Amino acid sequence: MDHVTIPVVDPGSAEGVLSLLWLVIALPLAGAAVLLVGGPLAGARAKGAMDRWGPWLACTAVGWSFLLSLAMFFALLGHDAEERQVGQHLFTWFEAGSLHVGMDLLYDQLSALFLLLITGVGFLIHVYSVGYMAHDARRLRFFGYLNLFVAAMLVLVLSANFLGLFLGWEGVGLASYLLIGFWQHKHSAAAAAKKAFVINRVGDIGLSLAVAVMFATFGTTDFTTISAVAGEASQGTLNALGLLLLLAACGKSAQVPLQAWLLDAMEGPTPVSALIHAATMVTAGVYLITRSNFIYEHTPLAQTAVVVVATVTLLWGAILGCAKDDIKKALAGSTMSQIGYMMLAAGLGPAGYPFAIFHLLTHGFFKANMFLGAGSVMHGMDDDVDMRHYGALRTYMPVTFLTFAMGYLAIIGFPLFSGFWSKDKIIETALAENTVVGLCALLGAGITGFYMTRLMLMTFFGDKRWEPGVHPHESPQVMTIPLIVLAALSVLGGVMIIGSWIVGWLEPVTGHAVHPEPPIAPILVTLLVVAVVAVGVAAAWFLIGRRDIPREAPAEVSFATRAARSDLYGDAINDVLVVQPGMGLARGLTTFDRAGVDGVVEGGSAAVGGISGTLRRVQNGFVRSYALSLLGGALLVVLALLAVNLG
């Protein structure tokens, strides 16, 4: 690939409003501290008062962060293009000899956009949650976790080195774990939280190994240094780094093969699904790859791997979305698929990075919008999530319906809505790079049109299929206003592409792209995409809209539907490949262990009855076997030493 020079990260010092960068993180962190520490300590009366102002405190903290981000964004706009990278040194995390790791922040064009997304959408979701969680006794803790998440996510995107990024990475993972399992009385929620944590740890292997490799290769993890010297490392090292970072991204962004946790994560409260599992955290993988462009540009192998993973995921997620009856899980499948699009763009190099970020932003708007809309629907339907029990809600919940419709039109790529611009650009770039990948992306767009239309039809149109005793109603204003704002953003998000603004804005970070000649004219691509989407929508109309929807999911279905309903056997695959062998190993070791160890314990407790003779007999036997294992170990050690050195 004939790329021009890869940009080097070289931040200037923070001045003016930009010197308040640290405050963006500090505000939500302080909010979390007050709510999480103060809540349990407060007495009964203070608790009552705190229950009232606590949620608003959380909103205020994020709100101020948003205002600061906005002010900083405009300050950055005022700078020259070369001076738009700003660094701030907070403190030295550790320093030993020549090893130096600072808590340094980096504010540049990329993190500026993320800051706006995280604090902006985060603020709206905080406000929405005030209404959504109004009757939950543990809402102080909920808002504390939510603030904690925002702070950790900001650390992730603002850190100027990979170690700080890892800190945020683990922080959002922890917050996600706590929030998925927030309704801990539900067993399924606790199990889902654990699953998410464990699968994410697998991804974290990638990131922690990558950090260690960076230390060993470059002696540092600073973006500044690595971006300058990355090209000097050996190809093997760079390939390894690229693949390790991809593994990390797969875990956090629910890409195949580490996708299985995302659908289960929908056990969390709906605002959590909107903020963490749709708009921000799950896109951290895309951020990681875009941020590490100085590594990926040197390793075509890893880039190819990214493209493959992304293509598989965008189809995988879309297929899941077609079969789910749980409204949140259908949306989660769609999230997975849309992140696949972003990863795909990120894997395409400098030509794709800006569109990856562009789609990430527009997706942040419309997906948050639809998740909150789904939450509003659930709110009105007594927390029922089964779309087969919905229907005809458009007249009962007009605001929710209209805002949801904006999100719907955006995600399927209806012309002039935000998703239209961003997805179109990705498909166009993909087609130019590789026809097969491009066609897969095109097919994905068609399936998106299908499952989103299905979701719309089942929820808002058709006949009433409500449970008896359910009285759907519109949600309070504190919930609908954020919906309206997000709907507006879903419609208008496309303005960022006017005059290729976002491409030029991100160019100093992601590098100047040499666009290969597209096989067909862009306008034809656009028309093709619209046509494919229209086919998908029409198919949904004929298959679902014109028929009656049974209240129970039909059992006699095709193999494809069955496969999609069971997450394309993602859990089964994990089970066979990882869980079973792991359990087998643990069981084997346990049997061995129990023969020697547990027997003694049980023997010991039996002997508490006072039969010291039994005790002695039991004890003798087992010490003997321990001693035997000691002897065997010693023999092994000595023989191995001799064999290695004298053999």
Stretch that binds other proteins, among 68-76, 78-86, 273-281, 632-640 (CB under 8 A): 632-640
Q: How many CB atoms lie within 10 A of CB 512?
A: 15
Cis peptide leading into 516, omega within 30 of 0?
no
Q: Does 47 bind other proteins (CB under 8 A)?
A: no
Nearer to other proteins, 415 or 604 (CB): 604
In the list 60, 208, 239, 434, the residue contacting other proteins (rule: CB under 8 A) is 208
DSSP state of 260: T
Q: Does 599 bind other proteins (CB under 8 A)?
A: no
Q: Does 213 bind other proteins (CB under 8 A)?
A: yes
Q: Which residue, among 315, 340, 355, 344, has the nearest Cα to 255 in the 3D structure?
A: 340
Nearer to other proteins, 199 or 295 (CB): 199
Residue type, 288: L
Q: Does 16 bind other proteins (CB under 8 A)?
A: no
Q: Does 581 bind other proteins (CB under 8 A)?
A: no
SS3 assignment, position 396:
coil
Q: Does 219 bind other proteins (CB under 8 A)?
A: yes
**Shortest gap between Cβ of 622 and other proteins (angstroms)?**
8
Q: Does 597 bind other proteins (CB under 8 A)?
A: yes
Q: Does 167 bind other proteins (CB under 8 A)?
A: yes
Q: Does 640 bind other proteins (CB under 8 A)?
A: yes
Q: Does 202 bind other proteins (CB under 8 A)?
A: yes
The Cα 129–Cα 127 span in angstroms is 5
Phi first, then psi, for residue 382 (nearest 5°) are 60, 45
Q: Does 216 bind other proteins (CB under 8 A)?
A: yes
Strands 12-13 and 99-107, bridge-based pairing: unpaired
In the list 88, 111, 176, 220, the residue contacting other proteins (rule: CB under 8 A) is 220
Compute how many residues bind other proteins; rule: CB under 8 A.
77
Q: Show contacts with other proteins in window 600-629 (CB under 8 A).
A: 600-601, 604-605, 607-608, 610, 612, 615, 619, 622-623, 626-627, 629
Q: Does 645 bind other proteins (CB under 8 A)?
A: yes
Q: Does 630 bind other proteins (CB under 8 A)?
A: yes
Residue type, 197: F
Q: Does 38 bind other proteins (CB under 8 A)?
A: no
Q: Does 137 bind other proteins (CB under 8 A)?
A: no
The Cα 372–Cα 377 span in angstroms is 9
Q: Does 170 bind other proteins (CB under 8 A)?
A: yes
Q: Does 587 bind other proteins (CB under 8 A)?
A: yes
Strand partners, 91: 103
Q: Show contacts with other proteins in window 72-101 (CB under 8 A).
A: 91-100
Q: Which alpha helices (DSSP H) does 159-298 contain, by range?
A: 162-180, 187-218, 223-229, 235-252, 261-264, 270-274, 284-291, 293-296
425: number of CA atoms within 13 Å, CB side?
Answer: 28
Q: What is the dihedral of CA 481, 482, 483, 484, to 10 degrees?
A: 50
The Cα 303–Cα 246 span in angstroms is 9
**Shortest gap between Cβ of 631 and other proteins (angstroms)?**
8
Q: Which alpha helices (DSSP H) does 135-186 contain, by range?
A: 139-158, 162-180
**Shortest gap between Cβ of 115 and other proteins (angstroms)?**
21
Q: Does 545 bind other proteins (CB under 8 A)?
A: no
Nearer to other proteins, 192 or 351 (CB): 192
Q: How many CB atoms lie within 10 A of CB 27?
A: 23
In the list 89, 201, 515, 617, the residue contacting other proteins (rule: CB under 8 A) is 201
In the list 171, 444, 472, 494, the residue contacting other proteins (rule: CB under 8 A) is 171
Residue with tokens 């109004």: 134
**Shortest gap between Cβ of 589 and other proteins (angstroms)?**
5
Q: How many CB atoms lie within 10 A of CB 80?
A: 6
Q: 464 is written with which tokens?
A: 């009433």
Query: Quick one: how many helices (H) and strands (E) in the chain?
Result: 27, 3
In the list 22, 215, 541, 569, the residue contacting other proteins (rule: CB under 8 A) is 215
Between 180 and 199, how does the x/- string for binding to other proteins read (CB under 8 A)? -x--x----xx--xx--xx-
**Shortest gap between Cβ of 575 and other proteins (angstroms)?**
15
Q: 484 is written with which tokens?
A: 């309206």
